[in-house]
Amino acid sequence: MVSLTPAIERLVRAGTASHLRAAILLTVLALFAFLPGFSTLQPMDRDEPRFAQATKQMLETGDFVDIRFQSEARHKKPVGIYWLQSASVAAGEALGVPAARTQIWLYRLPSLLGAIATVLLTYWALLAFLARRYALLGGALMAAAVLLGVEARIAKTDALLAACAVASMGALARVWLDWTRSLPFVPSRWNWLVFWGATALGLLVKGPIVPMVWGLAALALSLSARSLRWLKPLRFGPGLLLCLLVVLPWFLAIAWKTGGSFFAESIGNDMLGKVAEGQEKHWGPPGLYLLLFFGTYWPAAAFAAMAIPFAWARRREPQVLFLLAWIVPSWIVFEAVPTKLPHYVLPLYPAITGLLLLAVINDGIDRSRRGAMATASLVLLVPLALVGVILYGNWTLDRTLPYLALPLLALALLVAWRVLAAFGRGAWEGVLWRGVLASLLLGAAVYGFALDSLRSLKLSPRLAEAVSLAGCPAPKVVTLGYREPSLVFLTGTDLAMVADGAGAAAFLTQPGCRVAFVEQRFAASFQAAIAPLPTPPRLVTTLRGFNLNGGRRLEIAVYVRQ
């Protein structure tokens, strides 16, 4: 049975002719998946501009040890991502990018590279389990995954963390499968260096998450084998020394600079706080990740769910056992922790991809099983629901429709429908490659056109733009009511935030050009405070929009006093 169209078949054959060609094809696919909207999406509150602003302050102050957001210490994550973002922005400045320090896409470049690396490393890791043709498909499925596409466009840690996790687990897989004599090739003598290099970078990017993932997997496999000898090729002595050489200098520097408060905050408050309770309104019940999985791992999630019976039946086989050890212990930990964020489970998705493809190769998915077609229909229902939300949001918030996105949205839904048709025929490669195509089309439509047309969501960029209407050089800015981190990033580190109209009025009376943003709910107190002024500030404009954080419509007046 022919499962692929001639065009896709030619593409696959070209991509599998060599590892270099596979890497080139996957890089191109990843760029098609991740670049739409990469430079046009506004800073996404609240985490992204917090990371970007802390990086910007490093560049402003020249202090690359301490991490701060305005005057507040940001002792939550290690320094790795801030250094990478600083290098990216400094390179942009050197190349002449205008206003480089407020160009959010420059801060996103490490995430983009991390996401591309995750795709390529998924291919490399799956080569331990699958033939080149299917490892290529596995990398393409990761490029198509919704969650990785989101993280590629956000200037924070999680795309890089996923790359580190996949690299370490790919190296661990080679050791395990070589020991069980299930690996069809001899691991490289540099395999241990990949493992520990990825671990060291992971520690510098997000602390203990990468060691947790491979540590839990290694523990489960060791208990199954009743032995630790299989870990010997990883050379724990030199490996741990490498990690110390990479991470210890900064850890010592931050301990000296903060008097140890960094560790009290990052470990005691941030990490252990997430274990004890849901932080920053991110609480979720156990099982939430399973529910979110069908959206975050679209388009492959429905078919991966169908592979569960295969994984259970073949759980004692070395390949399946390793992939289950990669997924299950860490997934249980993430489900048990009260703080729930969708990206936490991203490092486990390449292993799920591997199980899905093993099931496909071994005819391990029963299409006749009750509910199979209903499950497969999620491939169409998920983007259909997303399209409905986008159209509703555009019309409700801005009284318009994303006209440029509509043809691509329709085409993405058509291809998703073709995925279901291929599933009905049992043409598995056709199912999954069409899913990749549907994802590329949907991403181009949503990120490239639909979200960009939602002007109501771009309050901070519009407010920053309004500062230029003040008509004077180097204005000082105060905000009353609206306090999103993106506003600090776009208007300046010295943005003043006040609690009442009197504070805003007092700010405006100081020397120099002054700009005030006043949210509508504070308008009365502000008007009362400026009434006695001999020269009241001038109303420049009033902006209306929608703040996703809190889900409120906002009206913000912009005042200027020179």
* Tens-digit pLDDT profile for residues 438-492: 999 999 999 999 999 999 999 999 999 999 878 888 899 999 999 999 999 999 9
CA distance 327 to 291: 16
CA distance 9 to 535: 73
So what's the pLDDT on residue 224? 97
Please provide residue 477's backbone torsions phi and psi, each rounded to the nearest 5 degrees. -125, 140
In this structure, what DSSP letter does residue 369 have? S
So what's the pLDDT on residue 264? 77
Which two structure tokens, joined as six digits, stand for 372? Answer: 């199979």
User: Residue 326 belongs to what H/E stretch?
Assistant: helix 318-336
Q: What is the mean pLDDT of the chain?
A: 94
β-pairing verdict for 538-547 and 552-561: antiparallel
Which two structure tokens, joined as six digits, stand for 234? Answer: 């990883």
Domain ranges (residues) in the chain: 6-258+292-361, 372-428+437-454, 458-561
Overall residue count recorded for the chain in this entry:
562
**Band of residue 263 on the pLDDT scale cut at 50, 70, 90:** confident
CA distance 455 to 42: 10
So what's the pLDDT on residue 271? 62
Cis before 101 (ω within 30): no
Q: Reply yes or no on whether the pLDDT at 2 is more than 50.
A: no
Helix pair angle (191-206, 158-179), 10° resolution: 150
**Band of residue 275 on the pLDDT scale cut at 50, 70, 90:** low
CA distance 475 to 529: 21
So what's the pLDDT on residue 210? 98
So what's the pLDDT on residue 265? 77
Q: How far apart, in Å, are the Cα atoms of 141 and each of 117, 149, 349, 437, 500?
A: 14, 11, 10, 10, 51
In terms of Cβ atoms closer than 10 Å to its own Cβ (0-12, 13-18, 19+), residue 112 is buried
**Band of residue 269 on the pLDDT scale cut at 50, 70, 90:** low
Q: What is the CATH number of domain 458-561?
A: 3.30.110
Mean pLDDT check: name the lowest of 280-284, 302-306, 549-553. 280-284
Query: Which of 408, 419, 421, 319 is closest to 362 using CA atoms?
Result: 319
CA distance 92 to 1: 51
Question: Average of pLDDT values for 352-378?
Answer: 95
User: At residue 280, what is the residue type?
Assistant: E
Q: Are 417 and 381 in contact (CB under 8 A)?
A: no
Most confident listed range (66-80, 151-165, 527-541): 151-165
Q: Reply yes or no on whether the pLDDT at 543 is more than 50.
A: yes
So what's the pLDDT on residue 290? 94
So what's the pLDDT on residue 1? 39
Mean pLDDT check: name the lowest of 262-266, 334-338, 395-399. 262-266
